Each structure stands twice: as C-alpha cells, then as structure tokens.
Amino acid sequence: MTGPYRFLFDKVLTRVDPEQAHHAAFAGIRAAGAGLRGAERVLPKRAGVRTMGLDFPGVLGLAAGFDKNAVGIDALAALGFGFVEIGTVTGEPQPGNPKPRLLRLPQDRAVVNRMGFNNDGAEVVAQRLAARAKRAQPGRGPVVGVNIGKTKVVPEDAAIGDYEKSTTLLAPYADYLVVNVSSPNTPGLRDLQAVAKLEPLLTAVRRRADEVTEARVPLLVKIAPDLSDEDVLAVADLATSIGLDGIVATNTTISRDGLASSATEIERAGAGGLSGEPLRKRSLEVLRLLRSQVPGDMTLIGVGGIASAEDAVERLAAGADLLQAYTAFIYEGPFWPRKVNAAIAKEQRR
C-alpha cells in the first residue's frame, strides 16, 4: 500500500520526534474535525454492530492511548472510527515517564511506548466529558469507552481505592468502562492480572460503577499478550464467573522476538510496550483462546497488529465482536479508519 501519506510518513515524519508529531497531528485532527457531528456521517450503512447493549456505528474503533484526556473524541470519530476509547486515565494527574518515551521501529511497522499513563487525572477528564455531554445531541456521535488505570505513586495495596475514584468520576460519562491492568509502563501494574488480585479489583469497580450510574455501564478488562495460555484461560474463567461484559485482547508486549529492525535500532528504542505488526500473531492467539473459553455473548475486542481489512476480517473470524487499532492509524494516516471500516462492511455483506 502506497500513497501520499505513506510517502510523507516514510520520508518526512520519521525524522520528527514521535511525541511531537503526535501532538501536532492530533491538533490538526481536532481543527479539521470542528463542526463535524460524528462517525455516522462518514461510515457506510450497515457498517456497525450491536453488542453490550450498545450500537457501534463501525466495528473498528480507536484504542486507548491516542486521546488520553478526552480532548478530540468527535474529531477522531469523524475520521471514520466507529468508537473511541479514551485514556488511560488515572485517579490522580501524572506527567508520565521521562522523555523520550515514544519511538518508532519503521521496518517493523511498530511503535515502542513507555509513556507511563501521562494524563490530566480523573477529575479533569470527568469535567471535560461532562461539558461534552451537555453539548452532545442525544443519539448522535460515537460510542465512548473510558479506560482507567492505576496512579503510579499509589501502592499496590491501595490500588482498588484508586480505581474506585476513577470509576466514581468517569463511569457516569462512559458508554463502557475498561480496567487496564496490562500496561508494562507502570511498576507492579501487570501483577494485578493475577486472578487472586484481579477478582476483588473488578468486583469493586463493578460495584462502584453501579452506585454512580442510573443505567448499567458495561465493564471490560484489558489483558497483556505476554500472559501464558494458562493465565489467559484463568482470566477468561474469572470474567465468566463474575459476569464481566467483555475482555480487550491485547495490550502491548514487552517481547522483542522476531523483529526486522537491527539490534542497534531495538536497543535505541529501549524498554516499553511494543505495538503494531509484531503483535499481530500473539494477539490473535490470545483472542482465539478467549473465544474458546468464554460464553458466546461475552464481548471480545481484538486489538494488536491490525493493519489492513484482511487483518480485521481474520480477527472477526477468530471471534472478535469489535476491533481496535492505534499503531496502524499512525503509519497509514487519517483516511485509514474509514477505508477499513468500509471494507469490513463490504466483506460482511458478502
């Protein structure tokens, strides 16, 4: 696949600091999206799906990490995403890890990030979502997911309270809520994926969400691709037993196996979560494991290495109900989500 954006990215944007490029591109998206009403204006008819009691205008949505602070939801939807997941938002505001913390591996169509949940905090993001809700027309605009994580300075034994704070503030404005316990960039976070720790956390978030909302907000958990198959199945069993609405599979990986980039490039990129094409195979495997273990009506969101309509169709065939992307959006440009959602809709009509 070649085109003006691909040429621009390969020849120009790869020379710009990735985090600076992100902020500039996002500012441009927000400016261009001003005045547009949302995804329904750009997605084809019959492109969507109904799951978790929600109508998604398109199967492919934007994964958490791009719009951490809920500043460009409608502009992003106007590009053709069927839904937008904001965050990860933490109970307290935090600056994230030292820079540089976002790097590209172009040969692998991959990104390494060690952002560290930099965000404005749950209180500020909730205020932003409340203001957006006042402006929104009922029944218009994209489905909005809210992804919540642990504040870095909060010790593990106080993590539940931190998640409960975010839930209290953000659940009233979420179409669905995702508990993120799988980023590799917050020390100790992935330890919360252990079933013994995950069950009380998810139970507490579920209880608090029900306390602060009139209508039930679907709750999902996002897991890492680096879990063993046994642990993936254990999470699936836990999700089933406590009545979770879904699972997001998967987050980024700490593995660097099988990369085309040179050892020097990989070393320069450093530690952090790897996303993009190298994640595709394992994310697909995790999705298939989950679908084999959970009830048919549990929603699975496939994410990780989806770069084409063919990848999307493969993930749906493996059992995903919804899809998300991030890295391919960076590499393929602003028209990519609309093209992929349209291609998915065409394939499904066959």
Q: For residue 295, say if its preceding peptide bond is cis, omega within 30 degrees of 0.
A: no
Task: Output the DSSP codes for 171-194.
Answer: GGG-SEEEEE---TTSTTGGGGGS
81 known ligand binder:
no
Handedness of CA 237, 242, 246, 252 (dihedral sign): negative
For residue 148, the cross-strand partners are 89, 179
Q: 83 in helix, strand or coil?
A: strand
DSSP state of 278: G
CA nearest neighbour of 227 among 197, 198, 191: 191
The yes-or-no verdict on residue 2 having pLDDT over 60 is no
Residue 200 belongs to domain with CATH number? 3.20.20.70
The yes-or-no verdict on residue 276 having pLDDT over 80 is yes
67 known ligand binder:
yes
Tokens of 18: 């990735």
User: Would you state the pLDDT for residue 39?
Assistant: 45
Q: Are the CB atoms for 136 and 123 separated by under 8 Å?
A: no
251 known ligand binder:
yes
Provide mean pLDDT across the span 296-309. 97
Percent of the chain topping pLDDT 70: 92
User: Would you state the pLDDT for residue 40?
Assistant: 47
Q: Are the CB atoms for 328 and 336 separated by under 8 Å?
A: yes
Provide mean pLDDT across the span 313-330. 97
Q: Is 228 a catalytic residue?
A: no
- The range of the structural domain enclosing residue 119 comes to 4-349
The yes-or-no verdict on residue 261 having pLDDT over 50 is yes
Identify the band that residue 258 occupies on the pLDDT scale cut at 50, 70 and 90: very high
CA pair distance 185, 267, nearest whole angstrom: 17
What are the pLDDT digits (tens) for 7-40?
Answer: 566 666 667 899 999 999 899 999 987 655 444 4
Which phi-psi region, left, alpha or beta, contains residue 258 (left: φ > 0; alpha: ψ -120 to 50)? left
What are the pLDDT digits (tens) for 204-234?
Answer: 999 999 999 999 999 999 999 999 999 999 9
Provide mean pLDDT across the span 274-295. 98
User: Would you state the pLDDT for residue 231?
Assistant: 95
What are the pLDDT digits (tens) for 66-107?
Answer: 999 999 999 999 999 999 999 999 999 999 999 999 999 999
CA nearest neighbour of 171 among 206, 222, 120: 206
Provide mean pLDDT across the span 315-335. 96
Tokens of 286: 């995790």
Percent of the chain topping pLDDT 90: 85
Tokens of 135: 């402006």
DSSP state of 137: P
User: Would you state the pLDDT for residue 140?
Assistant: 72
Catalytic residue, chosen from 166, 183, 261, 283, is 183
User: Would you state the pLDDT for residue 8?
Assistant: 61
The yes-or-no verdict on residue 150 having pLDDT over 60 is yes
30 known ligand binder:
no
Handedness of CA 93, 97, 99, 105 (dihedral sign): negative
65 known ligand binder:
yes
Count of domains observed in the chain: 1
CA pair distance 50, 310, nearest whole angstrom: 22
